[in-house]
Structure 1
Amino acid sequence: MNIFNSDGWFARIFGTIGDIIVVNILFIICSIPIFTMGASMSAMYYTLLKKQRTDETGGIIKLFFRGFKDNFKKSTIAWLLFLLIAFVFSLDFNLFGKGGPQENKLMYYTSVIFFILICFIAIYLFPVISAFENTLKNLILQSIYMAAKNFIFTIIIMILYTLPAYFLLASPQVFMVGIFILIVCGFGLIAYLSSFMFIKAFSPYLEDVTKQYTDDDPDSWMRSNEVSDDPSGESDSKILPDKSSSDQVSSSQKDSRKVTKKLEVSNANK
């Protein structure tokens, strides 16, 4: 087998490296206004998750901007909300600090714990927004559920995000090298490694999508249906079925409720 042909492992490895670099650069450029960083993060995960799930080749820039556009509103609101929460917690950290009375120490460590929990949720929120369609409220609830259910993945992904910050602060020499790596491929590499775990976490709520159908409807790859008019706020969570086999999919599909509903069903069965 020729390792240099388009299907060889050599070409695949360098193709993946190229995708990571391109996505990383697009993420940085689209995050410059700061308030668009949430949409950039969702677009980055949309691109990487789609390519991993469908093994699609080419069109990386087109995929990124499709994800950026489709998820802009919800991702931006979620990002601004996260920034507001982070700002409030930063005030708490400065107010209570580590020193002072015992009550201040208790409030300080309580704030730290709650902020870490918020970060756990934020880790899942933007990939969830990129993969599922629902109200922002339900997407946040889904992120909470997945962060708790896949706690080992949550810890590993948290380490992937925080480890670079640790090395950046280690020394001035490491800082410069670290900044260079982040600019070239750092953010994209972290998202790429994380996406393997997100695919594993999301898979129970996603139907298999064929490559042919993805080509026919490129936005259907991981989309979980339209928001229903149910006043309870619950909605179906499934991949849009192929028109030619919609009856078959609907009859053979597992409970298609969102994970918030699955959680309620699970508790009811206990």
Structure 2
Amino acid sequence: MNLLNEDNVVHVFLNKLGDIVIANLLFILCSIPVITIGPALTALYHCMMRTVKGNNNGTTRTFFRAFKENFKQSLIVWLLILVAGIILVLNLRFLLHANESAANMLFYLTIGVLTLLVIFSLYIFPVIATFANSLGALCRNAFLLAFMHFPTTVAMAVITIFPLYMTYLDVKLQPLYACCWFFFGFGLVAFINSMLLYRFFKKLLPPEENVTLL
């Protein structure tokens, strides 16, 4: 009878695992057009934040509602990040083959800007998923939170980038990695990051919003 109790550890674990898998599959489905990766990522974080809080009542419904409500802001941010990222990577490739003395300085400057872009990317979609504000305020708050909680930022960067790097690096195990990413990888990364972020996100929400988390 204890196994049927909703507060049972096994029951809670399976519910959270189910939320992660469903949200992961929905994220992949909505990311297929590529330009919609931003809104899909915001919806994924919205679901995972609710799962962490324990009030994710219907992952599919929650995902598509967040996808629709945050579509415009997330799309604009994603397209800007995508364009900026492409420009910076192409600039790095060009500077690697440049022989001028100023190329080294520009190379490290570009790496610095790319690092800031990565840090911004780690925070902006969870911030959009959790808080309602103008796009300018959300972007500013994403930067502020990233540097106010720098140890968390470093942890999120490792959690997010290291698995992707290992997938790219280990050619022999890429089919296994691909299988993991397809079924739960993106959702699990977002869930772990949401656990880290929710510790200080909940302090910034009004009491009534803290209960429902949007």
Tell me which interval the TM-score lies in, with the shorter structure as reference length: over 0.9
2-11 or 157-166, which deviates more: 2-11
Deviation readout 1:84-106 (Å, 9 max, x if unpaired): 11111022112101663332122
Deviation, 1:51, is 2.9
Name the count of aligned residue pairs.
Answer: 214
Deviation readout 1:189-247 (Å, 9 max, x if unpaired): 00000001111131221133489xx6xxxxxx334xxxxxxxxxxxxxxxxxxxxxxxx
Aligned-residue sequence identity (percent) comes to 28
The answer to whether the Cα contact below 8 Å between 2:38 and 2:74 also exists between their aligned partners in 1 is yes
The residue aligned with 1:48 is: 48
4+ residue stretches of structure 1 with deviation over 6 A?
Answer: none
The residue aligned with 1:238 is: none
In the alignment, does 2:4 pair up with 1:8? no
The residue aligned with 1:66 is: 65
Deviation, 1:56, is 2.0
**Quick one: distance in 2 between partners of 1:130 and 1:167?**
28
Deviation, 1:170, is 2.9
Deviation, 1:66, is 0.7
Q: Which one has a larger percent helix, Structure 1 or Structure 2?
A: 2
In the alignment, does 2:79 pair up with 1:80? yes
**Quick one: distance in 1 between partners of 2:52 and 2:106?**
43
1:95-106 → structure 2 map (5 Å cutoff)? 95-97=94-96, 100-106=99-105
Deviation readout 1:23-65 (Å, 9 max, x if unpaired): 0000000000011100001101111112322x22541100000
User: Which has the bigger relative contact order, CA under 8 A and spacing at least 6?
Assistant: 2
Letter in 1 for 2:213: M
* Local SS of the residue matching 1:169: helix
**Quick one: distance in 1 between partners of 2:83 and 2:209?**
40
1:1-270 → structure 2 map (5 Å cutoff)? 2-53=2-53, 55-56=54-55, 58-97=57-96, 100-209=99-208, 221-223=212-214
* Local SS of the residue matching 2:213: coil
**Quick one: distance in 1 between partners of 2:206 and 2:48?**
18
**Quick one: distance in 2 between partners of 1:203 and 1:17?**
23
Letter in 2 for 1:205: L
**Quick one: distance in 2 between partners of 1:210 and 1:30?**
27
Deviation, 1:168, is 1.2
**Quick one: distance in 2 between partners of 1:69 and 1:45?**
14
How does the TM-score come out when normalised to structure 1? Answer: 0.75
Deviation, 1:167, is 1.2
The answer to whether the Cα contact below 8 Å between 1:4 and 1:10 also exists between their aligned partners in 2 is no
* Local SS of the residue matching 1:120: helix
The answer to whether the Cα contact below 8 Å between 1:98 and 1:105 also exists between their aligned partners in 2 is no
